[in-house]
Structure 1
Amino acid sequence: MAIDALFHTLQANAIEHPIRFFLISLIILPIAYLISNEFVRRQARVSGLGGPIRLPVFGNLWEIRVNAAEKYRQWARKYGSVYQIQLGNVPVVVVNSAASAKVLFGQNAQALSSRPEFYTFHKASSHTRIFESLKRRRKGAASALNKPSIQTYIPHLDVESKDFVSELLRYGKSGAVAIDPMPMIQRLSLSLALTINWGTRMGTQENALFDEITHVEDEISRFRSTTGNLQDYIPLLRLNPFSFGSKKAREMRNRRDVYLNSLNRGLEDRMEKGTHQPCIQANSNDVVWGLDTITTLLQWSIALLAQRPDVQQKAWKEIAEIYAVDEPLCDALDDQKCPYIVALVRECLRYYTVLRLALPRVSIKDVTYEGVVIPRGTVYFLNAWACNMDDAVWTDPNEFRPERWLEQPDAPLFTYGLGYRMCAGSLLANRELYLVFIRTLNAFEIQQADNIDCHPVTGASDPTSLVSMPKRYKAKFVPRNVAALEQAIADFQVVDTS
């Protein structure tokens, strides 16, 4: 009865004094929302787990809007390697050390086997029939990317890495002009992804589809940012009909559908005619891009190598122990025979950790960590950057030093994630990176043309992005033996793995 009486009183006031009622409502409603929202946020937090002070509504979003992984690493020094933050309404457990990561993501792999759904990426950007169909059948990719299967992809790695070297030679006019290596790196990654997934190549960067796919996938990766989309954590913002982020996400989703449909139709047509090449899509209808991480890592690595002739010289000396000077295109069947190149690849993966925060997980059951019960449904961030820079593992984590992997070959590497949902394509990526590194360094001396910041934190072009990318730059790729390189490219034949 009391509620009915209050309702009638408010209704009467609204009719008799509409302006006054409206002004009072403008004051009362936000206060009521703040109070009720704070109650919801407090109830959602993990009891017994510390963390930084949080603001109303926004939580810690303001503090981690730039270089989130590095901020989490700094907080770990104060709050311990495992603590909780509040991103809007969502409490998140952040894991920042190698030891804690092994416990939570290694020993509790099944409990942390799911991923949270975020509004921008899963609803506005990827909520399509194509995406959901692929998502349901992603398990097939694991068998297509296991160690025995990698051998069947060697001819593709052979062709794409050769074309990468050939483009550096051609566009760089045999080392006479400085070039931006990014388009060559993107073509390499995209063509390999298209070949493995759809059985078709991207033979040149001078192609409208090349521009479209690289642009759209770059934009979509931004929607997966764990810090750049406020509407993921503050539900009230989703009511904004003029939300630029949601509008752009839908646009990218529609543009992605166009080329995915085209690629699928092309594959289906070739399968009907019996002219298709074996690929993941034909076997499992799954998509594994790998565009972000491989592209970004090579872009960072070439920038750093241009400023580190000492590393290049040591690499070339080690390669010369295996290959003659007139063999610039090293054997594609070389399964990581050069220890220093293996160490160089691993150090680049560690030092740049392109996916600083591994894709988030959500627990499907309670997890106990150091006496604290973390309830099911909790979101976890693996701070791969902090784990790779863990001074409990390395005495000099801030230095770029490939030799560390020769000294500690069994040291942990967190770039591909950890546990049940770690990157399925890590074996293929390692093989690809090794071949690209050994061929590029054996074919060219990379000379610095632009003085850019190569530090993994301060040198990032967009500190809010999910995938950390350096600023664009140019470098010179000077052939070590131009005649031998031109002859090797002219005589190139695809390696036979049968």
Structure 2
Amino acid sequence: MGVQTWVLISDPVLAQEIFMTHGVTTSDRPPHTFFYCYSHGGRGVVCSDANKRWKRARTAALSVLAPQRVNQFTDVLLYEADAVVEKLVSHSQLHGQVDPSTYVQSAAMNVILTTCYATRVNSADDPLFKEIMECVHVNMKVAGAEGDISQFFPIFSILDGLVGKKRAFIDFLANIRDPLVTRLIQQAASSDKDSMVKTFLALKDEYDLDDKDILVILTDLIVGGTDTVSVSLSWMIAILSHHPDVQKKIQTELDAFIQTHGRLPTFEERDQFPYIISVQKECIRYRSITSFGLPHMASSDLVVRDYFIPKGTILVSNLNGMHMNPDVYYDPEIFKPDRFLNNTRTMSSAANGNIKQRDHFIFGWGRRLCPGIHLAEVEMFHIFIRIFAYSSIAAPLDKDGKEVPVDLDSGINAGLVTLPLPYQVRFIPRTDSPLKIDSFNTQ
């Protein structure tokens, strides 16, 4: 790739050896102008090299995002799940069909805002929602591999200088991103509500973090926590609009629990829903929300299975290749939730366990594994449960009243993530649900 050497890896077992067995050597980030600006010179968890500062930041993030800490916000997570599903169903009834993207974006954002910053947005029309989504979209777009062409062809750095590309990055961060996140941190710190901001601030001395470390880490949580979850849910909804038979099996499994307990399940009871868990995992595998994720870089020469990987090599997980690898998944082009019925471990447990028992690979590898994986899975589980407790998803109708299947074969390159093409679906209230639509406890 120009002056860079790239290795794209489509075999997860080989990726495990490269990123975990040799993780000390393969966990740095490649040079990237925006990474450097975004991280204030190497701070935070996502964009910095895997050095001592990064290790302290990651350890602090893992402490704050640990399951026992996430569980303290269960009421918040349940409220947001109820709120978004109520909106999806009611707006679908009002307008006939609905584009779910902004609703799941605001829900994912509210989980981060309420748990981290002790605040929330009321809707996609909220000025704070628009302000944050501008930051999220810019970060995702320019952080993609193609976002820094001068790293491949240094001659283009002259053009970057002429058009002021680096200056634009710095101005965006200084005038938009940093003031926004600083304001949110200050508001959370002065609030009487519990928040992860307060936990991070209490850990500053223990982990030798400064104010810029905290700012970048909390930006990582906003960007990663909002887009990853919302894009995953958008693909899940689109995929399942094609599979009413799968939805029926989900509802049968869920209804049996509701009829026994008279309520919806919690995440701690997820083991009682092998089919639902399998469907979620298959949706994530079937349509990867990112083609490559964030690349790694070899910090020194290494040899893996007689492959010589020189220092400075860019190491990329080809997630589409992995998820469609027939040596890993039988009939990979076919949507088959049953393939995971014997692998219903949490996504966090699967990602940290034996490579042959991993379900999918979107949360990364080894030392770079996403620290928010547990929060993301809990959030998606609660929303998923409520969608199918209260409704079924149907394809949209054209002007003649005929169903038009949602396009699953195309997507939008949004930098780090791949979005489904804009679509609408119908959330049809269930008449056979053990729970009624007026059971929602939202305002």
- 1:390 is paired with a residue whose SS is coil
Which of 376, 392, 397 is the equivalent residue of 2:311?
Answer: 376
Q: Kindly state the Cα deviation for residue 160 of structure 1 after the two structures are TM-superposed.
A: 1.0
Q: Where in structure 2 are the equivalents of 1:323-402 lying within 5 Å? A: 323-324=258-259, 329-331=264-266, 334-402=269-337
Work out whether residues 34 and 142 of structure 2, in 8 Å CA contact, stay in contact via their aligned partners in 1. yes
Which of 432, 435, 447 is the equivalent residue of 2:394?
Answer: 447
Work out the CA distance in 2 between the residues paired with 1:145 and 1:335. 19
User: Are 1:257 and 2:178 matched, yes or no?
Assistant: yes
Query: For the aligned residues, what is the CA RMSD?
Result: 2.8
2:108 aligns with 189
Work out whether residues 316 and 442 of structure 1, in 8 Å CA contact, stay in contact via their aligned partners in 2. yes
Quick one: which amino acid aligns to residue 466 of structure 1? L
- 1:441 is paired with a residue whose SS is helix
User: Are 1:475 and 2:425 matched, yes or no?
Assistant: yes
Which of 361, 373, 377 is the equivalent residue of 1:430?
Answer: 377
- 2:129 is paired with a residue whose SS is helix
What does the per-residue CA deviation read over 1:273-294, in whole Å, with 9 as the maximum and x for residues that have no partner? xx13131553253321322211
Quick one: which amino acid aligns to residue 350 of structure 1? R
2:63 aligns with 143
Rate the CA distance shift 1:127–1:154 in 2: closer, same or farther, 3 A.
closer
User: Are 1:104 and 2:104 matched, yes or no?
Assistant: no
- 1:445 is paired with a residue whose SS is strand
Q: Kindly state the Cα deviation for residue 300 of structure 1 after the two structures are TM-superposed.
A: 1.1
1:207 aligns with 126
Quick one: which amino acid aligns to residue 488 of structure 1? S
Quick one: which amino acid aligns to residue 430 of structure 1? E
Which of 354, 357, 364 is the equivalent residue of 1:417?
Answer: 364
What does the per-residue CA deviation read over 1:466-498, in whole Å, with 9 as the maximum and x for residues that have no partner? 2000111111111114995343114x79xxxxx
What does the per-residue CA deviation read over 1:99-123, in whole Å, with 9 as the maximum and x for residues that have no partner? 2112111211222222223013423
Identical residues among aligned pairs (%): 24
What does the per-residue CA deviation read over 1:70-126, in whole Å, with 9 as the maximum and x for residues that have no partner? xxxxxxxxxxxxxxxxx2221122211122112111211222222223013423xx1
- 2:417 is paired with a residue whose SS is coil
More deviation in 400-409 or 346-355? Answer: 400-409
Q: Where in structure 2 are the equivalents of 1:158-169 lying within 5 Å? A: 158-169=78-89
Q: Kindly state the Cα deviation for residue 169 of structure 1 after the two structures are TM-superposed.
A: 2.9
Quick one: which amino acid aligns to residue 470 of structure 1? P
Work out the CA distance in 1 between the residues paired with 2:111 and 2:163. 36
Rate the CA distance shift 1:282–1:326 in 2: closer, same or farther, 3 A.
closer
Work out whether residues 154 and 332 of structure 1, in 8 Å CA contact, stay in contact via their aligned partners in 2. no
Work out the CA distance in 2 between the residues paired with 1:242 and 1:147. 48
Rate the CA distance shift 1:291–1:406 in 2: closer, same or farther, 3 A.
same
User: Are 1:92 and 2:6 matched, yes or no?
Assistant: yes
Work out the CA distance in 2 between the residues paired with 1:347 and 1:159. 26
What does the per-residue CA deviation read over 1:34-88, in whole Å, with 9 as the maximum and x for residues that have no partner? xxxxxxxxxxxxxxxxxxxxxxxxxxxxxxxxxxxxxxxxxxxxxxxxxxxxx22
Q: Which runs of 5+ in 2 are unaligned?
A: 204-213, 345-356, 398-403
Rate the CA distance shift 1:394–1:265 in 2: closer, same or farther, 3 A.
same
Quick one: which amino acid aligns to residue 380 of structure 2? L
Quick one: which amino acid aligns to residue 459 of structure 1? S
2:157 aligns with 238
Rate the CA distance shift 1:145–1:127 in 2: closer, same or farther, 3 A.
closer
- 2:440 is paired with a residue whose SS is helix
TM-score of the superposition, structure 1-length normalised?
A: 0.73
User: Are 1:277 and 2:194 matched, yes or no?
Assistant: yes
More deviation in 360-369 or 444-453? Answer: 444-453
Rate the CA distance shift 1:353–1:327 in 2: closer, same or farther, 3 A.
farther
Work out whether residues 255 and 434 of structure 2, in 8 Å CA contact, stay in contact via their aligned partners in 1. no
Rate the CA distance shift 1:324–1:242 in 2: closer, same or farther, 3 A.
farther
Higher Cα radius of gyration: 1
Q: Kindly state the Cα deviation for residue 243 of structure 1 after the two structures are TM-superposed.
A: 3.2
